[in-house]
Amino acid sequence: MTPEQLTALKKIFPSEDLLTHPADTLAYSYDNSQRQSIPAAVVFPREEQQIVQLLQHCNEWQLPVTCRGRGTGTTGASIPAPHGIALSLERMDRILEIDPDNRLARVQPGVTNQQLQQAAGEQGFFWPPDPTSAAVCTVGGNLACNAAGPRAVKYGSCRENTLGLTAITGTGTLIHTGVRTTKGVVGYDLTRLLIGSEGTLAIITEATLKLTPLPEARRTLQAVYRDVTSAAAAVSAIMAQPITPSALEFMDGQSLQMIRNYSDPGIAENAGALLMIELEESAAAIDAAAEQIAATAMTPGCLSVEIAGSQEQVQQLWRTRKALSPALRNVAPKKINEDVVVPVSRIPELVQRLATLAEKYAITIVNFGHAGNGNIHVNLLVDPDDPRQLEAAEACLDEVFSLVLGLGGTLSGEHGIGLVKRDFVSREIDDPTLALMHRIKNLLDPQGILNPGKTLP
């Protein structure tokens, strides 16, 4: 960075909102993807006009800008370009409005998911997207990746729960998209275009979100199966009946064995798969709904179905699922975690063929995730610092992605593309469609300064 550029940055950002020393910028050089690139500077805007001015300068300087929230992403989408600027939105963290009468909230991008849920909960509402990292991840990051979490099976993802956005394009132009109403068809749907674009088209500075009333009652069920095929058949049966679970989580036999090696989950030794099911209904309907789901879950191969009768039992049932992440970290702290999606009916074939790949490449593969919408997290337990293991993992992943697409699936459900999956995107999206996406990118960011090298091959 030249002295002239640094002087210009200091005019926009006070000293407490500007980092340039490598020891300070290091913390903003990586995310949860194990990738790293140290930026020339880190800026912390508090107002939209600071971002407008920054982008105007960066267009002139041809200097790349990469947005980030709290760095919880796993695909490298928030890794700054070498010698570029990392733009952290964590200090734009105000909840601007909670409007229960119109079931909406307006927030800045640095608000954490948990902060939003707490504020909305005080008014009797919640925002459905609930990633595992909700305590620390930001709403802006959720929108950038269209992150959703388990509740998406009933309530949808960020795209279904966002009414409008304020954003700044790569040219430094402030734009407003969407509406404050639940219906509206004026103009093109730029809101859904920006959501999931990983900061490559515009920088989101404000979001108008659709809130949902908190449920009156909740029930938790745990169903254990002899094998993956039996569990997948149950998932299809559950999703075919009128009651939609608010969460339908899946764990394969390898997951259960990992947990047994880490703790005592209280699961039968002959269990080959497990489903965690949550229902959210009115108080009058919840008991009947739980009984119906329990009956539906008892497909051939089911070993047991248990409905929690107290909060203590709920915690006991979720103990198995919550033990999985620490168990995986204990065995492979640098595991490779990919989130893919296939049609629900193809989950058994996916898991069975993943087992074949695990044997072929001598890699332990653990599968779990949001079975209700076919979003499976495929975990390769390898040490990426070992060249031989890394080579095997890369070859295995190549086949995993081909398998997913062959089953009619998609390469990512909620983690996004970033750097990790960028080179595989052309397998899923045809050339004419990719060309159109590049033209849209060039229109909103003609100098290519916004998060270059991400999302599109």
DSSP 171-185: TS-EEEEE-SSS---
18: exposed, middle or buried (Cβ count in 10 Å: 0-12, 13-18, 19+): middle
152 φ, ψ (degrees, to nearest 5): -60, -25
Top-confidence residue, 137 or 263: 137
267 pLDDT more than 80? yes
Q: What's the pLDDT at 145?
A: 95
Tell me what the pLDDT averaged over the chain comes to. Answer: 94
pLDDT score recorded for residue 279:
97
Q: What is the mean pLDDT of residues 389-411?
A: 95
Buried b (16+ CB within 10 A) or exposed e, 279-288: bbbeeeebee
Per-residue model confidence (pLDDT) at position 331: 78
pLDDT, tens digit, for every residue of 111-161?
Answer: 999 999 999 999 999 999 999 889 999 999 999 999 998 999 999 999 999
Domains and CATH numbers, the chain: 3-88 (3.30.43.10), 95-213 (3.30.465.10), 215-331 (3.30.70.2190), 332-421 (3.30.70.2740)
Q: SS3 of 350, please?
A: helix
Q: Structure tokens of 456?
A: 């599109």
Q: What is the 3-state secondary structure (H, E, C) of 125-163?
A: EECCCCCCCCCCCEHHHHHHHCCCCCCHHHHCCHHHHEE
Percent of the chain with pLDDT over 70: 100
DSSP for 271-283, please give it. Answer: --EEEEEEEEE-T
pLDDT score for 445: 98
- How remote is the C-alpha of 411 from its chain's centroid? 13
Q: Which two tokens stand for residue 284?
A: 């009058």
d(CA 130, CA 137): 10
Question: Among all chains, which residue has been given the structure tokens 């005080």?
Answer: 122
Pairing of strands 85-88, 65-68: parallel
pLDDT at site 320? 80
DSSP state of 47: S
198 and 417 Cβ atoms separated by less than 8 Å: yes
Please check the confidence at residue 92 and state whether its pLDDT lies above 80. Answer: yes
Question: Mean pLDDT over residues 210-234, rounded?
Answer: 95
Task: State how far the Cα of 271 lies from the Cα of 42, in Å rounded to an integer.
Answer: 50
- Residue 423: other Cβ atoms inside 10 A: 11
pLDDT tier for residue 52 given thresholds of 50, 70 and 90: very high
pLDDT for position 337: 86
Confidence band for 34, pLDDT divided at 50, 70 and 90: confident
- Confidence band, pLDDT 50/70/90 cuts, at residue 235: very high
> How large is the C-alpha radius of gyration of the chain?
23
C-beta neighbour count of 122 within 10 angstroms: 10
Greatest Cα pair distance in the chain: 71
Distance separating alpha carbons of residues 130 and 349, to the nearest angstrom: 28
Helices (H) and strands (E) in the chain, counts: 15, 18
pLDDT computed for residue 375 by the predictor: 95
Q: Model confidence over 170-200: pLDDT tens digits?
A: 999 999 999 999 999 999 999 999 999 999 9
- Residue 334 has a pLDDT of 80
pLDDT tens for each residue of 78-88: 999 988 999 99
Q: What are the tokens at 121?
A: 């909960």
Confidence band (pLDDT; 50, 70, 90) for 14?
very high
pLDDT tens digits, 316-326 = 888 887 788 77
Q: Is 337 strand, coil or helix?
A: strand
pLDDT tens readout for residues 194-219: 999 999 999 999 999 999 999 999 99
Instruction: Check: CB of residue 407 under 8 Å from CB of residue 346.
Output: yes
Please tell me the predicted confidence (pLDDT) of residue 443: 98
Cα separation, 47 vs 172, in Å, equals 13
**263, pLDDT greater than 80:** no
Q: Taking a C-beta distance cutoff of 8 angstroms, is the pair 138, 129 a contact?
A: no
